[in-house]
Amino acid sequence: MDVQANYERWLNSPRVSEEDKNTLRGMTQEQINDAFFKNAEFGTGGLRGVLGPGTNRVNVHTVGRISVGFAKYLLDKFGKKANQMGIAISHDNRYFSREFTLLAADIFNKMGIKVYIFDDLRSTPELSFAVRDNGCCGGIMITASHNPKNYNGYKVYDEKGCQLVPDLVEKMLKFIDALPDELSYEVPQAKEKGELVTLGEETDNRYYARVKEVQVHPELDKKDFRVVYSPQHGASYEGAMSVFSSLGYEIIPVKEQCVHDPNFGATLSPNPEVATAWDLPLAYARKYNAQLVVMTDPDGDRCGLAYRGKDRRYHRLTGNESAALLIDYILSEKKKAGVLPANPVMYDTIVSSSLGRKVAQSYGVSVESFLTGFKFIGSRIGYYEDQGKGPKFVFGYEESYGCLASDFVRDKDGIQAILLYTEMALFHYRQGRDLGEAYEELQQRFGYHLAIMKDMYFEGMEGNATMQRIMKSLHERPCPVIAGTPVAYVEDYLSDRRIFADKGKKEEKIVGLPASDVLKFFLNDGSTLCIRPSGTEPKVKFYIEVVGEKKGLAEKAEALYEGFLKDAGIN
């Protein structure tokens, strides 16, 4: 892409506002390069990027063009039925989220498609529910999830309330790519404009009722069990509080973070995976002597938690740790009650800890693993649903605090998660255990597992080129030894190959997964290391897991990471 030509095109276009042109004139060359070196792209969580003018930015022009392309895709797929089936659109608290929502709604209406739009912000899982509840042909969620405040994004959903998987994204992109550029496209005008329908409390209440059905032991005594909750300024506040209060839990909201502030003014980070996101919620927990702290991210699809231990201190659990505990709780209690379905299945991802799989398999639950992106889990649920046979879904999760317990939603659901995590913590509390003790018991049964994730950022045009060079080199020459430990085999998901170090073993084909720029190393000692570029931010993610019979695996995990950087020649 010609950076300077596109920069000049924006400066000279009558469609670009004077405010945006002034922003463009004030850019450094490095900022110009980053804003124009490519078009904003769809990744693991839809399109997500920095707000502002430019082809590699999220703005009214890029959002409008995508909306026209998505509408054309739906009209091609469903024909005239798309007009009446309609599309549901929701948004979070971010800058321009409401404006982008109204823009997309107007485009779909002009193109003759009915639009269901909420009266205010709603969470990602409720958007997925609304698509299914109203029989829509698709959905849009305007959000950048847990990214910093200068980001926004655009998630697209199919008729089952599941984010589009790659082969469907490719079909949609053909319609987008066939359009003139973001400053030249036109919105086709249908003979009959689509209807605009506002969704409100009735949809909310139907969704909340389904959320409450995920409880395993609703009869548990909730007295003197206090829970601090933060929505991180996001879309889950009203829904989570409605569900919790109606079930009798003593919930203490972090009031400063319950304001729908696009500036995220009362938090140091809106990401539950980041330690500083917990500063204020943990201060509340200490003030009110709470047993548990739960948090949803801004669009409400992810959930983190921290528990009060016997040492009176608060301890955070990772997504892998909390999910393993929840899997054990749900499956063990359902098995005791005789309500665990026949032929059950759990879904996770290739970067999830092996502990969750071991727990599920111990209850006779089969496990299927997918690439990162909850859309693959939602799609698999729909696959068996279409077949009318196959295993019965009982749980799905990603290591990044995303899980789903009931498939009336086809994306991860933070409100389902915080309800079940709270119930699980209460269950163990009534039996005299904190969640740390429960997790220790789990590891004594299945072995000690430590999974960590590391990030390495590659900002801008040059960083993107460096990241691509690193991944290309690793695909061509994967490390045979990492930190002194031989690699048993490598799974290359770009070429769909399983490559063994033992030359006597023939390569195997990885089946059932789409090609993806990911490598996973399996070491002789049972450790694993997976590397993949993020689909939502300019960085590479490293997922490391070490296992053993004893505690104290942190040093080994860090050594494995540092050794990989050295052995792979990554600075």
Catalytic annotation, residues = 145
DSSP lists the bridge partners of residue 19 as none
201-212 and 414-430 helices, crossing angle to 10°: 40
Decide the pairing of beta strands 115-118 and 196-199: parallel
Give me the numbers of helices (H) and strands (E) for the chain, helices first please.
Answer: 18, 24
Q: Distances from the Cα of 195 to the Cαs of 91, 111, 115, 119, in angstroms? A: 19, 11, 6, 15
DSSP lists the bridge partners of residue 348 as 369
**Two tokens at 167?**
């082969």
8 Å CB contact between 123 and 235 = yes
Q: How many CA atoms lie within 13 A of 397 on its CB side?
A: 30
8 Å CB contact between 270 and 279 = no
Element (H, E) at 289: none
Tell me how far apart the alpha carbons of residues 457 and 466 are, in angstroms, rounded to a whole number: 10
Q: Which residues contact 367 (CB under 8 A, 6 or more apart)?
A: 345, 346, 347, 348, 357, 360, 361
Q: Which residues contact 286 (CB under 8 A, 6 or more apart)?
A: 314
Tell me how far apart the alpha carbons of residues 174 and 185 are, in angstroms, rounded to a whole number: 15
Q: How many CA atoms lie within 13 A of 163 on its CB side?
A: 22
Sheet with 46-50: strands ordered across:
42-43, 46-50, 151-157, 138-142, 87-91, 115-118, 196-199
**Two tokens at 482?**
């990492």
Sheet with 292-296: strands ordered across:
250-253, 226-230, 292-296, 303-308, 314-317
38 φ/ψ angles, rounded to the nearest 5 degrees: -160, 170
Tell me how far apart the alpha carbons of residues 405 and 112 are, in angstroms, rounded to a whole number: 36
Tell me how far apart the alpha carbons of residues 326 and 340 are, in angstroms, rounded to a whole number: 15
Tell me how far apart the alpha carbons of residues 277 and 204 are, in angstroms, rounded to a whole number: 27
8 Å CB contact between 519 and 493 = yes
Tell me how far apart the alpha carbons of residues 111 and 114 are, in angstroms, rounded to a whole number: 9
Length of the chain, in residues: 571
Within the chain, what is the greatest distance between any pair of CA atoms?
70
- Cα 509 from chain centroid? 28
Tell me how far apart the alpha carbons of residues 162 and 374 are, in angstroms, rounded to a whole number: 9
Give first-to-last CA distance, the chain, whole Å: 28
